DNA sequence: TTTTATTGATTGAACGTTCAATAAAAAAAT
DNA sequence: ATTTTTTTATTGAACGTTCAATCAATAAAA
């Protein structure tokens, strides 16, 4: 059934199929055949659209990174002229967005973390993403405190976010988003104590 | 050169070789041949001593978990009748022990985290370890605060430790142990603020 | 001489990639 | 409108490679 303009459709299909396969059996057993079956297409099509399996995996990681970026950006765009605390809270919540907590996304994240230690292509993507989270946090803390204090606050909050996400993902019960957000926001309150005036506002933005 | 009693020697050799191979090329490319060459033995010996590659990988994960447990236990054993803050600090420092930060150990940890999502054998080991860290922390916090507060404090500190470790490991500059410990101890101070009397003691136990 | 430890060639299975063949749609021609 | 031609999309069998596991052969120690 070849209509024209299938490329973006197939690319999207195959990327989703890759995440589904990783969710099912892990990256090690996510063969091109299995991925192709998930997308309902032939195995050969992967080389056609992505040049090979490696290209598909890189494209998949780009997608996951992009999803995270958008989840954060969507929340922050609602905060024109918001306080630093508002922006930091939005960054926290964005990192615990549905799209990042689901099985396929979570297991894909883990697999790519491990792979990025040995594949320079993935490593660069990984570093850009880590740096982005850190910079965003640091930038907001800088509005309230001196440089060195802001840096350590950003490092601490970044670690807290990733750590809560990691332990929740590895846990058999899965990530308790509510609780993770509560702990992260609590830590944020402590970091900001003495620096801003607003009383944490204890909001319920999900 | 077959002497008797080679088993424990070979097992230890092969486990170290496995971590070295994972450090070099990642779990995906850590073939039995490469591991065996690292240990200076034949590939067949792996099946002989571990029943197969899976057995070797499981034994390797057990070793890494055991090393972490001992790094923590060693620090805590010097604190007979120590304060909760002392014990919590020792747990933090133990998690940033040399043995856990080195390239082979770090990359092995990451690889096993990803694998544990799909291999029930590794998953159980993983959960026992996570639970151990949480329980140890919770137990100490309970000496100073109510149950629910202790639980959240333990969850937060566990996430902070793992998050600092993770981001440091993924970072191109590697983990800055000093800085990580400083941030984690700072968070601990905030968690304990108002609960204990001792003034953080700003110690230099490495 | 018997036991223990080790080797390494062999085997069979599984993988990613390739490419000639195919078929549907779109475009062009009638 | 209908037929023909061209383009685009897709297939899946075949190929070469790589891997883990096996096991008969071997050699040192007991």
Q: Give the pair of three-digit tokens for residue B169.
A: 């490991």
Question: Please, which pLDDT band fits residue A199 given cuts at 50, 70 and 90?
Answer: low
Number of H helices, E strands in chain B: 10, 0
**Subunit contact B113:A117, Cβ cutoff 8 A:** no
Residue B104 pLDDT > 60: yes
Q: Which among B5, B122, B141, B4 has a CA at the least distance from the CA of B62?
A: B122
**How many other CB atoms sit within 10 Å of the CB of residue A128?**
10
Size of interface A-B (CB pairs under 8 A): 130
CB within 8 A of A161, min separation 6: which ones? A91, A92, A95, A96, A133, A184, B163
> Structural domain boundaries of chain B?
7-192
- Quickly give A58 CA vs C20 C1' distance in Å: 29
Please report, rounded to whole angstroms, the spatial distance between the CA atom of protein residue B33 and the C1' atom of nucleotide D23: 17
At residue B100, the pLDDT reads 86
Please tell me the predicted confidence (pLDDT) of residue B206. 41
Average pLDDT over residues A79-93: 96
Contact between B39 and B16 (Cβ < 8 Å): yes
**pTM given for the model:** 0.93
Taking C1' of D22 and every protein CA, the nearest residue is B44
User: Which pLDDT band, with edges at 50, 70 and 90, does B205 fall under?
Assistant: very low
- Report chain D positions within 7 A of protein CB atoms: 8-13, 18-24, 27-30
Which residues in chain B are closer than 8 Å to A188, comparing Cβ atoms? none
Which residues from chain A sit within 8 angstroms of residue B180, using beta carbons? 159
Is residue A198 over pLDDT 80? no
From the list B92, B74, B70, B86, the residue with the least C-alpha distance to B177 is B92
- Which two three-digit tokens encode residue B189? 């101070």
- The answer to whether A163 and A179 have CB atoms below 8 angstroms apart is no
* A49: nt with nearest C1' to CA: D9
Smallest Cβ–Cβ distance between A166 and the set B166, B179, B186 belongs to B166
Domain A7-192 has CATH 2.40.30.170: no
Average pLDDT over residues B189-195: 93
């Amino acid at each position: 059934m070849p209509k024209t303009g299938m490329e973006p459709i197939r690319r999207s299909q195959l990327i989703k199929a890759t995440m589904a396969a990783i969710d099912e059996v892990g990256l090690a057993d996510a063969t091109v055949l299995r991925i192709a079956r998930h997308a309902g297409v032939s195995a050969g099509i992967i080389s056609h659209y992505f040049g090979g399996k490696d290209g598909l995996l890189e494209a998949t990681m780009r997608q996951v990174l992009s999803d995270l970026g958008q989840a954060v950006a969507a929340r922050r765009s609602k905060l024109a002229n918001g306080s630093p605390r508002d922006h930091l809270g939005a960054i926290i919540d964005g990192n615990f967005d549905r799209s990042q907590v689901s099985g396929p996304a979570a297991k894909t994240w883990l697999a790519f973390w491990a792979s990025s230690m040995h594949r320079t292509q993935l490593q660069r993507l990984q570093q850009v993403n880590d740096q982005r989270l850190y910079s965003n946090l640091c930038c907001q803390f800088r509005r309230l405190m001196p440089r060195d204090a802001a840096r350590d606050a950003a490092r601490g909050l970044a670690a807290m976010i990733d750590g809560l996400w990691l332990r929740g993902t590895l846990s058999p019960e899965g990530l308790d988003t509510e609780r993770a957000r509560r702990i992260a926001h609590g830590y944020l309150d402590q970091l900001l104590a003495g620096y801003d005036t607003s009383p944490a506002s204890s909001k319920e933005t999900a």
